[in-house]
A and B are shown apart, each in its own frame.
Chain A
């Protein structure tokens, strides 16, 4: 049906390869471009496209969800079918009803008692199993993420297929396919119905064995049985697909990217390792999210102007964008804006929460923000605790990317 590799193979033809290489190069230097833009042309605007690069403007666009709508709905429908997932909703009340309902089943209380120990155990196991050398992207982070969270959500691998592949492919389609690659679409057209069927199947089965397992799916079924609104089969299915597709492919991107940033700064890496050894999880998280600031998930997110609107009103850079304009909300640039972030080019593990926008801002702030904030650093913790932690020799020891995704990064340590 589709390829069994988690990431799609690199393009084979020369043209696409040059394009991919150029893309990679551009991505590597996007920070410099943004820095320049922030100074001289903070809101670049041509035709139906605009971008916001300064912290204030990024926050403004994120905050004005009624004026700048999300662009997810069309592709979400391809992935999930008709029923709405909250990611695609712009209306505050409707959106919050949906997320509030889901927060009753994805509970903050689960993090310390269930998810944290599970992630630590899984990561430790992965590191132990690997001996003295491990590939971080797949063998550690992706493995741990999917193992722990699929168990938590109640969404095991479909029979004969790999959830990691399905989720990653659908994620790419939803979030990292601005060019609408027909090849990818072909795969999605196969995976999406299969995914829906698989989850529906899980729902149906669980209805028969209610109470057999305390996971998100089980709680949803209970809520449905209690007649609570927001827990129809469609709601449950969309939410679970949303969690798996929207959430799980991200840690394997950002965590290895953060590790790569740490590896580039040996003194800071040593401090981060010390924090891991001291079991100072708060400080360790500080290192991880600060490292992520230097190579975040993406340069930005897209929004569409729903009305004619002036961004950064009453400032010299005030820019009027017409209804329908696509706006790149460059949160990566916002986190480097010295107008609001003190000494942005300095690595500072003790930054304040408001200096980060890894999880967006406003209504569409990442639903899994609390889970991610707690779990992402722990995925690396067992590894960082190891002595003689270092890059693997050769190219394997440096992070490679494939498109928007982290591909490989191997490290060595004293087992």
Chain B
């Protein structure tokens, strides 16, 4: 089943923020109570919002903005039902919304309708009107819905109990058995209680979703290439001689030289890449370039034809060389465009102020630390200003969307780089896209999470966050940045607010453990293992 990430961002009424805080705190206290008629903490929310994986409510205060009230939801299925569920699950939600500003325009009327005393006017549309879609998000256990996660966890625990009970038996029937026999015995013991083992598991990433992700990524790449080709195409209108190609290449070389540290981009090649891998990558690069030249020589010719039919007819009569020349010109100018953009970017980066010692609100920090490290997972909410300028505006959008699509296509097993500790994380642009909001639900401590970013996934993280004001100095949007570990941590801490209310539907399970539960369940769904090696591999998860 598909998982969705949506966040509601509403401007708070500055004078009512303390009431809002109290309402959120009270709601938390109520849920931890647990509420009357419920046995376990957070059961009311868990039952009334059955699609919810993680949810948080926080208030971000800032010197130059009024406070904003942020409700983060990570849930199963498409968006829509979740808002009705939240309305039913959070009794004080209406009171919370009353602490927010009355919006301008027709939404103001809706605000009046939901906020008058004793109103029962539906809240879902109002929440939806303030909903923000993430620019990029990452799912740790993609395609596993909450019901499945919970019941596979239950199965795992039952497996552990069954095996634990057997340990005290004399002799232990599981001990001399082969992996296949262990599988048979466990399956026989657990099937009566877990009848769903006989149902096939639905595919985690449906074929259609898979295909759309790939197509969208290809589409984005093509669109970017097309944009980069425009100057070349325009130039090709005027001339497509060898001279023009040579001048463009020379200009590209000069731009590269002007950048100075272009060679450092080689750092992006993984250290561990084998010589064979490097060769493969080179061949793939050359093939890609050739394909690009061929495709764009065609597209270029077609566009030329549209704009200047006479030339096109001439070109048609002329030989392939003419077409190729035009294509090479497009490529050469494109190369120049890329390098010019990089030069411009590096120029911005060199002049970017980075904040080495961002001010930290001690009281807030105390609250943040107090709220951390109570369960296996932790939550982080951060809000930063977006760096100004046209190039930044473009790069942040393309960067986030591109990285997001790339993750959808490549990071399908929950690994982000070499880290697999994120359940749900996303970046969104808020406050009319002037600020970048980051919300994450991750395993382990905040320190270890940030260290993971610093050590295992810094390029991607830098790409996403380097457009934030004050981020540690980055190069080419990808290099350094987050590797300035101490600066990065200080910067990240200062951008955070306390997650006043935070809900996890499965507080005991890490991303890894959920995958392990799924592997155990998938094995037990099978009637038998035909291959002894497969059985062995499976049994290692027990």
Interface, chain A (partner B; CB < 8 A): 55-56, 59-60, 63-64, 92, 310, 312-315, 318, 338-343, 352-355, 361-362
B101 to chain A, nearest CB (A): 15
Instruction: Kindly identify which residue among B81, B113, B122, B124 contacts A342, using a CB–CB cutoff of 8 Å.
Output: B81
What A residues does B81 contact at CB under 8 A?
A: 338-342
What B residues does A338 contact at CB under 8 A?
A: 80-81
- The answer on a CB contact under 8 Å between A63 and B120 is yes
B74 to chain A, nearest CB (A): 15
Q: When chains A and B are docked, how far (Å) is the Cα of A361 from the Cα of B120?
A: 9
For the complex, is B188 an interface residue (Cβ under 8 Å from A)? no
- The answer on a CB contact under 8 Å between A314 and B105 is yes
- The answer on a CB contact under 8 Å between B121 and A354 is no
Instruction: Kindly identify which residue among B48, B109, B119, B122 contacts A56, using a CB–CB cutoff of 8 Å.
Output: B122
- The answer on a CB contact under 8 Å between B122 and A60 is yes
Q: When chains A and B are docked, how far (Å) is the Cα of A323 from the Cα of B84?
A: 29
- The answer on a CB contact under 8 Å between B124 and A340 is yes
For the complex, is B305 an interface residue (Cβ under 8 Å from A)? no
- Contact A313 to B48, CB < 8 A, known contacts A56-B125, A342-B81, A352-B88: no
For the complex, is B348 an interface residue (Cβ under 8 Å from A)? no
What A residues does B118 contact at CB under 8 A?
A: 92
Instruction: Kindly identify which residue among B84, B109, B121, B129 contacts A340, using a CB–CB cutoff of 8 Å.
Output: B84
What B residues does A339 contact at CB under 8 A?
A: 80-81
- Contact A315 to B50, CB < 8 A, known contacts A338-B80, A339-B80: no
User: B458-515: which residues lie under 8 A (CB-CB) from chain A?
Assistant: none
For the complex, is B316 an interface residue (Cβ under 8 Å from A)? no
Instruction: Kindly identify which residue among B84, B109, B119 contacts A55, using a CB–CB cutoff of 8 Å.
Output: B84
- The answer on a CB contact under 8 Å between A315 and B125 is yes
B2 to chain A, nearest CB (A): 12
What B residues does A314 contact at CB under 8 A?
A: 105-107, 109-110, 125, 129
- The answer on a CB contact under 8 Å between A318 and B106 is yes
A123 to chain B, nearest CB (A): 29
For the complex, is B87 an interface residue (Cβ under 8 Å from A)? yes
Q: When chains A and B are docked, how far (Å) is the Cα of A312 from the Cα of B113?
A: 11
Question: Which label, helix, strand, loop or mixed, suits the secondary structure of the B interface?
Answer: helix
For the complex, is B77 an interface residue (Cβ under 8 Å from A)? yes
What A residues does B85 contact at CB under 8 A?
A: 352, 354
In the assembled complex, 29 residue pairs joining A and B whose CB atoms fall closer than 8 Å, in A order, are A55-B122, A56-B122, A59-B121, A60-B121, A63-B119, A63-B120, A63-B121, A63-B122, A310-B109, A313-B107, A313-B109, A314-B105, A314-B109, A314-B129, A315-B129, A340-B80, A340-B81, A340-B83, A340-B84, A340-B124, A341-B81, A342-B51, A343-B77, A352-B47, A352-B48, A352-B50, A352-B88, A354-B87, A354-B88
Q: When chains A and B are docked, how far (Å) is the Cα of A340 from the Cα of B125?
A: 10
Shortest 4 CB-CB contacts between residues of A and residues of B: A314-B106, A354-B88, A314-B107, A59-B122
Nearest neighbor of B106 in chain A, beta-carbon distance: A314
Q: When chains A and B are docked, how far (Å) is the Cα of A64 from the Cα of B112?
A: 12
Contact with A along B51-90 (1 / 0, CB 8 A): 1000000000000000000000000010011011101100
- The answer on a CB contact under 8 Å between B121 and A64 is yes
What A residues does B50 contact at CB under 8 A?
A: 352
Chain B's interface size range is 20 to 34
Q: When chains A and B are docked, how far (Å) is the Cα of A308 from the Cα of B81?
A: 30
What A residues does B124 contact at CB under 8 A?
A: 55-56, 340
What A residues does B80 contact at CB under 8 A?
A: 338-340
Instruction: Kindly identify which residue among B47, B48, B113 contacts A64, using a CB–CB cutoff of 8 Å.
Output: B113
- Contact A353 to B121, CB < 8 A, known contacts A314-B107, A314-B110: no
What B residues does A353 contact at CB under 8 A?
A: 88
What B residues does A60 contact at CB under 8 A?
A: 113, 121-122, 125
Q: When chains A and B are docked, how far (Å) is the Cα of A338 from the Cα of B80?
A: 8
Question: Which label, helix, strand, loop or mixed, suits the secondary structure of the A interface?
Answer: loop
- The answer on a CB contact under 8 Å between B77 and A313 is no
What B residues does A92 contact at CB under 8 A?
A: 118
Nearest neighbor of B87 in chain A, beta-carbon distance: A354
Nearest neighbor of A343 in chain B, beta-carbon distance: B77
- The answer on a CB contact under 8 Å between A354 and B129 is no
A63 to chain B, nearest CB (A): 5
Contact with A along B292-324 (1 / 0, CB 8 A): 000000000000000000000000000000000
What B residues does A342 contact at CB under 8 A?
A: 51, 77, 81
A309 to chain B, nearest CB (A): 10
Nearest neighbor of B80 in chain A, beta-carbon distance: A339
- The answer on a CB contact under 8 Å between B84 and A354 is yes
Q: When chains A and B are docked, how far (Å) is the Cα of A353 from the Cα of B50?
A: 12
Contact with A along B38-49 (1 / 0, CB 8 A): 000000000110
Q: When chains A and B are docked, how far (Å) is the Cα of A381 from the Cα of B78?
A: 36
- The answer on a CB contact under 8 Å between B125 and A312 is yes
A315 to chain B, nearest CB (A): 7
What B residues does A355 contact at CB under 8 A?
A: 84
Q: When chains A and B are docked, how far (Å) is the Cα of A55 from the Cα of B445?
A: 42
Nearest neighbor of A318 in chain B, beta-carbon distance: B106
Contact with A along B123-146 (1 / 0, CB 8 A): 011000100000000000000000
Q: When chains A and B are docked, how far (Å) is the Cα of A352 from the Cα of B88?
A: 9
Q: When chains A and B are docked, how far (Å) is the Cα of A353 from the Cα of B49?
A: 11
A82 to chain B, nearest CB (A): 30
What B residues does A352 contact at CB under 8 A?
A: 47-48, 50, 85, 88
Q: When chains A and B are docked, how far (Å) is the Cα of A352 from the Cα of B48?
A: 7
What A residues does B77 contact at CB under 8 A?
A: 342-343
- The answer on a CB contact under 8 Å between B107 and A362 is no
Nearest neighbor of A59 in chain B, beta-carbon distance: B122
Q: When chains A and B are docked, how far (Å) is the Cα of A136 from the Cα of B369?
A: 63
Contact with A along B90-111 (1 / 0, CB 8 A): 0000000000000001110110
What B residues does A318 contact at CB under 8 A?
A: 106
B131 to chain A, nearest CB (A): 12
- The answer on a CB contact under 8 Å between B88 and A313 is no
A395 to chain B, nearest CB (A): 36
What A residues does B87 contact at CB under 8 A?
A: 354
What B residues does A354 contact at CB under 8 A?
A: 84-85, 87-88
B25 to chain A, nearest CB (A): 25
Q: When chains A and B are docked, how far (Å) is the Cα of A353 from the Cα of B124?
A: 15
Q: When chains A and B are docked, how far (Å) is the Cα of A329 from the Cα of B472?
A: 57
B500 to chain A, nearest CB (A): 25
B124 to chain A, nearest CB (A): 6
Q: When chains A and B are docked, how far (Å) is the Cα of A343 from the Cα of B110?
A: 27
Q: When chains A and B are docked, how far (Å) is the Cα of A339 from the Cα of B47?
A: 20
- The answer on a CB contact under 8 Å between A313 and B110 is yes
Greatest chain A CB density within 10 A among B51, B107, B124 is at B124
What A residues does B51 contact at CB under 8 A?
A: 342
Nearest neighbor of B84 in chain A, beta-carbon distance: A340
What B residues does A361 contact at CB under 8 A?
A: 120
A321 to chain B, nearest CB (A): 15
Q: When chains A and B are docked, how far (Å) is the Cα of A247 from the Cα of B371?
A: 52
Instruction: Kindly identify which residue among B48, B113, B120 contacts A362, using a CB–CB cutoff of 8 Å.
Output: B120
Q: When chains A and B are docked, how far (Å) is the Cα of A64 from the Cα of B121?
A: 7
What B residues does A59 contact at CB under 8 A?
A: 121-122
Nearest neighbor of B119 in chain A, beta-carbon distance: A63
Q: When chains A and B are docked, how far (Å) is the Cα of A361 from the Cα of B125?
A: 17
B79 to chain A, nearest CB (A): 9
Nearest neighbor of A92 in chain B, beta-carbon distance: B118
Nearest neighbor of A65 in chain B, beta-carbon distance: B120
What B residues does A315 contact at CB under 8 A?
A: 125, 129
What A residues does B129 contact at CB under 8 A?
A: 314-315
B170 to chain A, nearest CB (A): 38
Q: When chains A and B are docked, how far (Å) is the Cα of A286 from the Cα of B87?
A: 21
A111 to chain B, nearest CB (A): 17
User: B196-251: which residues lie under 8 A (CB-CB) from chain A?
Assistant: none
B505 to chain A, nearest CB (A): 15
Q: When chains A and B are docked, how far (Å) is the Cα of A338 from the Cα of B77?
A: 11
A241 to chain B, nearest CB (A): 28
Q: When chains A and B are docked, how far (Å) is the Cα of A339 from the Cα of B83?
A: 9
Q: When chains A and B are docked, how far (Å) is the Cα of A315 from the Cα of B87?
A: 19
Nearest neighbor of A351 in chain B, beta-carbon distance: B50
B250 to chain A, nearest CB (A): 53
B264 to chain A, nearest CB (A): 49
What B residues does A55 contact at CB under 8 A?
A: 84, 122, 124
